[in-house]
Amino acid sequence: MRVPFERNPISRLRSAAFLTIALFIQPLAAYSADEVKPRGVPANSLRRTPVVEVVDRNKEAVVNIFSERTVTRENREKQLELMQLQQRVNGMGTGVVIDPRGYILTNHHVVDDVQMLRVKLYDGTSVNARIVAREPSEDLAIIKIDVSRPLPLTVIGTATDLNIGEGVVAIGNAFGYEHTVTVGVVSALKRDVVLNREISYKSLIQTDASINPGNSGGPLFNMQGELIGINVAIRAGAQGIGFTIPVDNALKVAGELLSVKRRTGMVHGMQVRDALDVSNSVIRRWAVIERIEQGSAAEKAGLKPGDVLDRSGEQKIICHLDLERAFLERSTGDATPLVARRGSNARGEGGEEIRVEISLRSNERAPNQLPADIVWRKLGLKVQPAGADQVVKANPQLHGGLLITDVNLDSAAARAGFQRGDILIGLHLWETVNVDNITYVLNHPDYATFAPMRFFRVRAGQLQRGWLEQ
């Protein structure tokens, strides 16, 4: 029996398509023209979901990071002849603004060993960035961009009261697709993750919100739009298994990275504890002075243990990071205003308001131990400041360094190959643009653990890396 229609696959497809369209259109006929809503969507529309609110609230505080690094690989071109090839590799990541002046928190692995670093803001502005400080063991770093206007900040939340299953939102530079938004839930808490023998993480948040290459260093928000973590890793080969550094840990590390003592060697004399209250629907953070160093600027200003730090100028202080932000870009002797409260209750509220000014001071040194003497004795180097124009050829993001004017032939520096005319631009984890930067490293309490100590120098316009044996 002939069944020509059934033998015609095109006809079958057309019939199926017609049926699908008919089924889709038919219900719409039940609505009158008067019931069709206009395209203009009011602010309280059902389309204005919590996710939309989270993104709108925070998108301008999230930045896209693009980098370029040189990778050296070995290639056997001929038998017994080994040739090294250098290849430029582009990288990407995400960052969160932590200070309106252009300070950005991201992952250390996003900026490690890069020769070029650029940041793109939400409005499309693209600017060069430089590394301010980094902590490889915590996989966190702070970079800086120069901005013509204050940048917005996120609202800081906490990971201490997260619920497994609650909704979260990630924003990041996923595969270079800027400001990609993904949504998921908190899958687990306090995950310990080992990537390899060198890299492991403790007590991470696990989420099924899509975390892709390029999301590293970007934010994870709760549905109230509060920052609860910094995205750091994914499980290779898995689906929906990503990991995030809790914001409470990230704030602590960021405070240390931006501490005036670590950056400049100067001290304010305050040891601060971050306090947190999550008993109400809105979390409360405050910073309490735990200890005042004897003879410090803070003691001379009249501050005492137990005082709650409130603000510096217009800047609110709710954690140690905010205190260190108050001293950013200030020099020795500059007066920094602080407002504190004495006699506050258990939630850090109330108390007598106290207004003081803190003038930064250099660390006390032993008699006759000037910075130049310490550098000569420990490293065998004499240095003088070098301007940015002397190092920009090696890396446009560099702001200067220290020109080597003399090398002790029987010293660690000589054994590392230092020569007159070299420019020292980095030691261990820190930039070296003045002598105090070097002495900070050399006088660090953990100095003995730095061996061998990594250095970065510029020679004949080329960036070089090496190790100093102590």
Catalytic site residue from 108, 109, 179, 268: 109
Amino acid at the residue 311? R
Coil, helix or strand at residue 435:
helix
Tell me the pairing of strands 155-156 and 226-234.
parallel
Q: Could you tell me the two tokens for 246?
A: 């809790």
Task: Check 67, 210, 216, 296 and give the catalytic one.
Answer: 216
109 annotated active-site:
yes
What is the three-class DSSP state of 387? coil
The 3-state DSSP class for residue 33 equals helix
378 bridge partner residues: none
- Cβ count near 37 (within 10 Å): 8
**Alpha carbon separation from 209 to 92, 102, 261, 262 (Å, rounded):** 19, 28, 38, 35
| CA–CA dist 39, 257 (Å, integer) | 49
| Nearest-angstrom CA–CA distance, 388 and 401 | 7
Residue 139 a catalytic site member? yes
The first and second tokens of residue 436, run together, are 């105090």
Beta bridge partners of 88: 70
Residues 456, 134 contacting (CB under 8 angstroms): no
Find out whether 98 and 142 touch, Cβ atoms under 8 Å: yes
Burial (CB < 10 A; 0-12, 13-18, 19+), residue 384, is exposed
Return the amino acid letter for 119: V
| CB-count burial class (<10 Å; 0-12, 13-18, 19+) for 402 | buried
Q: Tell me how far apart the alpha carbons of residues 407 and 376 are, in angstroms, rounded to a whole number.
A: 8
Can you tell me the distance from the alpha carbon of 257 to that of 277, in angstroms, rounded to the nearest whole number? 25
Q: Contact, 114 vs 91, CB < 8 A?
A: yes
Structure tokens, 207: 């989420």
The DSSP element (H or E) to which 252 belongs, if any, is: helix 247-257
In sequence order, what E strands does 303-452 have?
A: 308-312, 315-316, 335-342, 352-359, 361-362, 381-386, 401-407, 423-427, 430-431
Active site residues: 109, 139, 216
